[in-house]
Structure 1
């Protein structure tokens, strides 16, 4: 068999049976080989950033890697922003990047670039297959490298002639390294810190954000008086009734500093010590207060759930955690504000929903008003590179076809990867997208004043405003095959969301919010 056939069969044998693809000439033998391996599901995207973001969303929900298929260095470059987000989320992914045939590399063809160097900026593992005899073994190692704890991106560079030449054989899966256990001595040390009675915050991230980790952490908090808090944008968080009321560290630096003020001990479980997203005049680079000691219960990639269970047994064996009771906000009426939008979502959120949150500044009240809803999962913008919401919803829906997906999507960042809607329609996925349509890059309006930038504001405002012409999301979505409606009041949003959630296939609701400025 040729290299492409062996590669795909090896990926499937190792559990990677979904590929989000935007191929080109150098990948055509991979494309042709899909007919020989029907177990591999190939999902076409119209932009590489959609493919990489979808692979991120898929792996966050499936707990195993998907593959991407990208065209040479420029194609990989187009997917770089969401590869960055996946790296920050520690998402397992096998990134297959086609390259020129080996004999063609020396000619410096127009699409020639240093793929290896580019891939190294976001990958935990990079390898170039040098012959058909190597490609299957390389693929097996790539899957294991991606799926081992902590998850990472493995990039396999596939020259076109390695794909088309014969002489390849399927390789057996390589053993995946499990998450290492935290030593008992570390758990004992953290338990001793908690017994001091000094103000402490148990700060969660990674696998600690699942149901089991949160419940164990809630026992620790109940028995020791420690406060619970999580990363600002966790990759995946279980939420809803029966779980603790877990506060997220606020994004604005002033609010983050206030949230941790007075803390003497910051205990990390599956998370790294927090830092602000940006540097600001007159503010420290992180919110950890002076005099606060940072303790690592479990580093990212270690088994945080078992560490928290062990800690609960040592420090709070008989404690009963405080958990949220089932509750929903009343359906609002009248003006459609961000908080009214959040109330509608909280009132109607179905059980086992997957919420993909790229609401940004329009997310006011979302955490509060969905906290007592039926159990659901929440995917956040972990790496901060906007434009991941629509692609992540695509990947999450492919991973969990029996669960409703709701994307809460800021208008400006939606346009980065708007072509994902076409893939939503082509795959007929149960994704309901709510566009937070306030007509501006509102988050940048906040940042303009926060960084102390000065000016008369007229020309600057034009760079932050999405008007002239306005964006018609109903027309855009309809043109890509997604049924779309527009809501201008809370009642209209409730009616349209309710209908979208019971009808199969994708939907988009343009939620028209108060304009900025």
Structure 2
């Protein structure tokens, strides 16, 4: 047995079952160890950003870590945008990053870099193995670190010789710490704050947005009159018919300020006070009203679901929530199903709301279109909604891939802007190879449309044709049908509401990957 063998045995014994891999020469012993074990599924990704994004999607749906297998500092750097999103999602994730053999590093070979420095940027925990025998212990510690609190990124750096040299035994699994329960005194204080408020709100994030937490929040809202708000981009929100409805804070700062105006008390549970996504000339970054009292009841790393249950008990909030999303009227035809005009976000939302399968998983990187699609799907069948937590685009397709690997029995729908889809388009190939049950909807407006809005908002002056060319995705138009088919994913194109309705209904009715190129006509908000 060598170090790689013992590391893999340790990881498998600790419950790690999936590896999203983009390996190189330094990782060949790890590749061999994975290949020789039935307990670890190996999924090849053609770009490191796909591997890290897929591991994020897997973790959001299982609350357990997957592995990424990455090649040296440059490979880790390629994964970093979606490492950042995973960090902001507070998910458990374990990176295995190969490095040169210890005695080879002195020669400064072309791929030599400070791997630990790269890894430290998004990781909560980084460890360089010290010997072949230490490698398995590093793996055990990584499992524990990744599952501490809400979850975090744990990175093990594996010098190549530690993987191939002889090693003694695998390491024993380490206990995963329980989440800290919020003290009774803090619960009592929050209850008092809500009782004394004229216009209170609960601001929710993390696992407060799962059904048990939402149910308790809904009962608290009924007892106190509190509004229920949540982060603009949450890791996983359970919503749809029969679930407690939550107001998502608008993206644009002006709209967020309006949404929060008039509140005199906000209790934060699993979320921090919101700030503007970017700075704008003459506009505030802090979004909570200055005269509003705030209280952070539970951090994302604490037991937020139990905190909500305890708060509901403290308020004697036992009546069922009255803010549950209602079912749509039966036998009402979806307007988009028969329309033959331009395909708009409104029409897309109508069809999605009517046709989304029960218990689907939706990944949202729809950008400007997503602003309309989210409210339009409030009355869709119960589903999970996964968002772009860290703002680094290119997460949508990998997130859908990982979510489908985690939950193969559930349909995944990827709502995907065309510009950001090009960042990690390689995910389509892995979807086809693994036959994941993902329906991708490309919101094709041939533009970085959100940047057209931001160009005006930051006061950058009157745009010239050259300026606008840097935000335009035409000349040539990207042919999404050909791209998808070239990667093994069946694809169609929709240009009218009726075409989209028919194609989406067919795509979600059959298993396996599919892509719809939805050519969208959209009026940009000012």
Fold equivalence (TM over 0.5): yes
Displacement, 1:331?
Answer: 4.2
Q: Matched residue of 2:94: which SS?
A: strand
User: Which residue in 2 is equivalent to 1:63?
Assistant: 63
Aligned to 2:325: 324
Q: What is residue 39 of structure 1 aligned with on the other side?
A: 39
Residue 375 of structure 1 corresponds to 382
Matched position secondary structure for 1:167: coil
For residue 413 of structure 2, what is the aligned residue in structure 1?
406
Gaps of 5+ in 2: none
In structure 2, the residue matched to 1:290 is 290
The structural deviation recorded for 1:367 is 2.2
Equivalent pair of 1:439/1:515 in contact (CA under 8 Å): no
| RMSD between superposed Cα atoms in Å | 1.2
Correspondence for 1:214: 214
1:471-490 correspondence runs (5 A)? 471-490=478-497
SS of 1:154's equivalent in the other structure is: strand
Task: Specify the alignment match of 1:245 in structure 2.
Answer: 245
Question: What are the Cα deviations for residues 283-315 of structure 1, in whole angstroms up to 9, with x where unaligned?
Answer: 111211111121011111111111111111122
- How far apart, in 2, do the equivalents of 1:315 and 1:515 lie? 46
SS in 2 for 1:38: coil
Please give the residue correspondences for 1:185-224 in structure 2 after superposition, counting only pairs within 5 Å. Answer: 185-224=185-224
Q: Distance in 2 between matches of 1:397 and 1:276?
A: 32
In the superposition, relative to structure 1, how do residues 279 and 168 fare at CA in structure 2: closer, same or farther (>3 Å)?
Answer: farther
The 5 A counterparts of 1:375-394 are 375-394=382-401
Indicate the residue corresponding to 2:348 in structure 1: 341
Q: Could you tell me how far 1:369 is from its partner in structure 2?
A: 2.3
**Counterparts in 2 of 1:32-111, with a 5 A limit?**
32-111=32-111
> After the TM superposition, which of the residue ranges 331-340 and 131-140 deviates more from structure 2?
331-340
Runs of 4+ in 1 over 4 A off after TM superposition: none
Deviates more, 1:493-502 or 1:80-89: 493-502
- Maintained 8 Å contact 1:331/1:494: no
Counterparts of 1:421-436 in structure 2, within 5 Å, are: 421-436=428-443
Residue 3 (structure 2) aligns with: 3
Alignment partner, residue 16 of structure 1: 16
Residue 485 of structure 1 aligns to a residue whose secondary structure is strand
Counterpart position of 1:396? 403
Q: How big is the shift at 1:31?
A: 0.7
Q: Which deviates more from structure 2 when the two are superposed, residues 361-370 or residues 74-83?
A: 361-370
- Mapped to 2, the partners of 1:57 and 1:316 lie a distance apart of 37
Q: Is the 8 A contact 2:50 2:427 kept in 1?
A: yes
What corresponds to 2:515 in structure 1?
A: 508
Give the alignment's TM-score, normalised by structure 1: 0.98
Measured after TM superposition, the shift of residue 354 of structure 1 is: 0.3
> Can you give the 5+ residue segments of structure 1 that lack an aligned partner in the other structure?
none
| Displacement of 1:516 | 6.9
Matched, 1:112 2:119: no
Which deviates further from its counterpart, 262-271 or 466-475? 262-271
Q: Cα 1:210–1:46, aligned 2, differ >3 Å: closer, same or farther?
A: same
1:126-145 deviations in Å (ceiling 9; x for gaps): 00002111001110000110
Residue 127 of structure 1 is matched in structure 2 by 127
> Is the Cα contact below 8 Å between 1:405 and 1:432 reproduced in 2?
yes
Match of 1:419 in 2: 426
Q: Quote how far apart the aligned CAs of 1:406 are.
A: 0.3
Please give the alpha-carbon distance, in whole angstroms, between the structure 1 residues aligned to 2:288 and 2:423: 34
The 3-state SS of whatever aligns with 2:275 is coil
Q: 1:319 to 1:295 in 2, by over 3 A?
A: same
Task: After TM superposition, give the deviation of residue 262 of structure 1 in Å.
Answer: 1.3
Residue 331 to residue 16, structure 1, CA distance change in 2 (3 Å): farther
TM-score (norm 2): 0.97
Q: Which residue of 2 aligns with 1:458?
A: 465
Q: Is the 8 A contact 1:439 1:516 kept in 2?
A: no
CA distance in 2, matches of 1:435, 1:100: 40
Query: Structure 1 residue aligned with 2:447, among 435, 440, 452?
Result: 440
Quote the Cα distance in structure 2 between the aligned partners of 1:217 and 1:310. 11
